[in-house]
Amino acid sequence: MSRPRTNSLTPAASASQATSGADNGQRLDRAFLASLARLTAGVSPAGLASLYAEWLMHLALSPGKQLELGEKYHRKMLRFGQYVQRLAANPGAEACIEPLAQDERFSGAAWQQWPYNLIHQSFLLTQQWWHNATTGVTGLSSEREQAINFITRQWLDRWSPSNSPWLNPEVGSVTLATGGQNLVQGWQNLLEDWERAMAGKPPVGAEAFGVGSELAVTPGKVVYRNALIELIQYTPTTERVHAEPLLIVPAWIMKYYILDLQPGKSLVEYLVDQGHTVFMISWRNPGTQDRDLGMADYRRLGPMAALDVVTEITGCPRVHGVGYCLGGTLLSIAAAAMARDGDDRLATLTTLATQVDFSEAGELMLFIGESEVSFLESMMWDQGYLDGYQMAGAFQILHSNDLIWSRVIHEYLLGRRRPMNALMAWNADLTRMPYRMHSEYLRWLFLDNDLSGGRYLVDRRPVAIRDIEAPIFTVATTGDHVAPWRSVFKIHLLGDPHEVTFLLTSGGHNAGIISEPGHPRRHFQMHTLGKDDHYIDPDTWRETVPERRGSWWPAWQQWLAEHSSGPVAPSRLGGDRHPPLDAAPGHFVRMP
């Protein structure tokens, strides 16, 4: 008798098929999410929906908060009604609500005239009520509260009367005066910008700021190149130089020449003229083929490879390490690993707008949840990298009134092009980030905060910032939304070096760092905390440390000079072992 046939597979075949099915399902999920991410500009719908659902649920379970919001609504309606009555008797009556100090949307005289005063006052009262509705809800964590408040504020800013051609008095008066030609010109500006974006061209006016001709023009040579970096050594301008050279590690989410912008506004030029030997890393713009480059590759091929070359060229065993933004984080990781392993080649460590503890990383953390990171990983998995436009969009949202809606008003509603400048041209020169590196960066540093927790691994062993014994100089800026100064200040809690000098300067993430001597309206505070000094909290620090007028560059340069061993003859570019390969700014910085 024959055995009956069965459709069942052997256990091994069944497991193989199950694994294959799971892989296929995962690939389908990633492909779908990648397509969805392009439509949503990288914002996770699931994360957004869960955030609002959580807020609504906690609000529904808070009858006291509901009563409070109801009372606030009626009080605001009463205030607005009284304001209308005052206006009827006195057109110059005092406003019932003032905008925040940084909100200049309604500062024009036309906004104080009827009916625009009623329009913008009503909007500000509504905005204030929504702020109350999204804060102080029992059971909602501070992180989720900040996120829901931020997103609601962005939504309200979108519907601000200043963004409407029918409600904005300046747009209305210009439209009447020009017979609508401003809207015609604005439409042409919009089409031109859209066409350039689709073709991958720089914005209007950026052609006047060429890399190597108008920007990044400090003389030097590329003395080393590997798969990820070019190393530039700049030509000395003094007969004698400080013995210890500087190695600058910029962030790879930006082109390096923010630090060599143009004559008179170049940190590199300033340092060279002060007698420093300066080396700069220029990162290659990665493509799809670089999807598997990780944080370890960036550390190994970046600062560690460059450090070997710098010491070989100069013959000096000690180097001043300088890191900017993400480059400062990477250099801090490298410095901690070097200290752990007994490598004492860093004479000092300077970090510019750099975080090593991401527990309070500001509004950028609103984009860094598990749902959002997974969503971004699917998008990067599909293309192999995070596109510069996708990263720029996230930063623009942090300053939406200044970077998005202000542009909409001036260039599209008023039809007036803003003149291009060097910083704007640099900002439009976008870069990409490999899939693996950016995923590791988001998870290990932002999401899990492994570096401050002693869990970040270098060569399979953890590193700690407190192991760094080199003197540290840390610069933060008051208007930084990418690396908030209180977050940068946490270096005092993580480090146990001989000294930490903390400097807080006016300006933002980029403009505060590019703060050349003679720059108007610049001021800073600086204080050194010795090894045996007691910790000062950031608020007390800011209240007690005296303010100085002017640029912070000379103060830092003096600190570098004090931590150098004396003057020597300048090194020949490239030395004996690294003959120059190309003239600065090199090839990598020009890669699209």
195 and 292 housed in the same domain: no
What CA–CA distance (Å, rounded) separates 71 from 56?
19
Residue 471 lies inside a defined structural domain of this protein = yes
443 and 316 housed in the same domain: yes
CA 557 to mean position of chain CA atoms:
25
Residue pair 566/241 in contact by the 8 Å Cβ criterion? no
Name the β-bridge partners of 567.
242
Q: Is the bond preceding residue 585 a cis peptide, omega within 30 degrees?
A: yes
CA-derived radius of gyration, the chain: 27
| Number of helices followed by number of strands (H, E) in the chain | 21, 17
**Residue of 523, 522, 530 whose CA lies nearest to 501:** 530
- Which residue in the block uniquely carries the two structure tokens 């720089």? 202
Residues 6+ apart with CB under 8 A from 21: none
pLDDT at 340 over 60: yes
Residues 6+ apart with CB under 8 A from 433: 252, 253, 286, 380, 385, 386, 391, 441
What CA–CA distance (Å, rounded) separates 282 from 430?
14
519 and 578 housed in the same domain: yes
Residue pair 553/516 in contact by the 8 Å Cβ criterion? yes
- Identify the weakest region by mean pLDDT among 139-143, 322-326, 344-348, 459-463: 139-143
254 and 352 housed in the same domain: yes
Q: Is 20 exposed, middle or buried (0-12, 13-18, 19+ CB in 10 A)?
A: exposed
Residue 14 lies inside a defined structural domain of this protein = no
Across 86-108, b (16+ Cβ under 10 Å) vs e yields ebeeeeeeebbbebeeeeebbee
pLDDT range class, residue 506, cuts 50, 70, 90:
very high
What CA–CA distance (Å, rounded) separates 470 from 349?
6
pLDDT at 7 over 70: no
What CA–CA distance (Å, rounded) separates 339 from 346?
9
pLDDT at 17 over 90: no
Quote the domain boundaries for residue 417: 171-201+388-421
* pLDDT tens profile 386-436: 776 666 656 666 666 666 788 889 999 999 998 999 998 998 888 888 989
308 and 406 housed in the same domain: no
Residue pair 554/267 in contact by the 8 Å Cβ criterion? no
Residue 215 lies inside a defined structural domain of this protein = no
Residue pair 252/325 in contact by the 8 Å Cβ criterion? no
Active site residue 325: yes
What CA–CA distance (Å, rounded) separates 541 from 502?
10
CATH code: domain of residue 504: 3.40.50.1820
CA 74 to mean position of chain CA atoms:
41
541 and 412 housed in the same domain: no
pLDDT range class, residue 540, cuts 50, 70, 90:
very high
Residue pair 433/283 in contact by the 8 Å Cβ criterion? no
Please report which helix (H) or strand (E) contains residue 525, including its range.
Answer: strand 523-530
* pLDDT tens profile 117-144: 999 999 999 999 999 999 999 998 887 8
90 and 127 housed in the same domain: yes
Which residue among the candidates 325, 330, 365, 465 is catalytic per the annotation?
325
Instruction: Output the pLDDT for position 335.
Output: 97
CA 249 to mean position of chain CA atoms:
16
Residue pair 529/499 in contact by the 8 Å Cβ criterion? yes
* pLDDT tens profile 168-219: 999 999 999 999 999 999 999 999 999 988 887 888 999 899 999 999 999 9
Which amino acid makes up residue 121? Q
Reading the block at residue 88, the tokens are 């009827």
Reading the block at residue 486, the tokens are 């209180």
508 and 572 housed in the same domain: yes
Residue 6 lies inside a defined structural domain of this protein = no
Instruction: Output the pLDDT for position 79.
Output: 93
Residue pair 157/401 in contact by the 8 Å Cβ criterion? yes
* pLDDT tens profile 283-329: 999 998 999 999 999 999 999 999 999 999 999 999 999 999 999 99
Residue 19 lies inside a defined structural domain of this protein = no
pLDDT range class, residue 150, cuts 50, 70, 90:
confident
Domain boundary among 145, 167, 189: 167
What CA–CA distance (Å, rounded) separates 541 from 147?
28
pLDDT at 269 over 70: yes
Q: 3-state DSSP call for residue 389?
A: helix
What CA–CA distance (Å, rounded) separates 413 from 190?
10
Residue 488 lies inside a defined structural domain of this protein = yes
pLDDT at 562 over 80: yes
**Alpha carbons within 13 A on the beta-carbon side of 505:** 29
Instruction: Output the pLDDT for position 389.
Output: 64
* pLDDT tens profile 51-108: 889 999 999 999 999 999 999 999 999 999 999 999 888 888 888 999 887 788 898 8
109 and 225 housed in the same domain: no
Which amino acid makes up residue 46? A
Residue 37 lies inside a defined structural domain of this protein = no
Residue 458 lies inside a defined structural domain of this protein = yes
Reading the block at residue 555, the tokens are 């103060």
What CA–CA distance (Å, rounded) separates 257 from 212?
10
Instruction: List, in sequence order, the alpha helices (H) in 166-288.
Output: 169-178, 181-199, 267-273
What CA–CA distance (Å, rounded) separates 542 from 538?
6
340 and 374 housed in the same domain: yes
- Quote the DSSP letter at residue 561: H
**Residue 466 CB neighbour total at 10 angstroms:** 14
With pLDDT > 70 as the criterion, what percentage of the chain qualifies? 89
393 and 346 housed in the same domain: no
| Domain total in the chain | 3
Q: Is the bond preceding residue 115 a cis peptide, omega within 30 degrees?
A: yes
Residue pair 498/467 in contact by the 8 Å Cβ criterion? no
315 and 459 housed in the same domain: yes
Instruction: Output the pLDDT for position 33.
Output: 66
- Identify the weakest region by mean pLDDT among 130-139, 244-253, 356-365, 542-551: 356-365
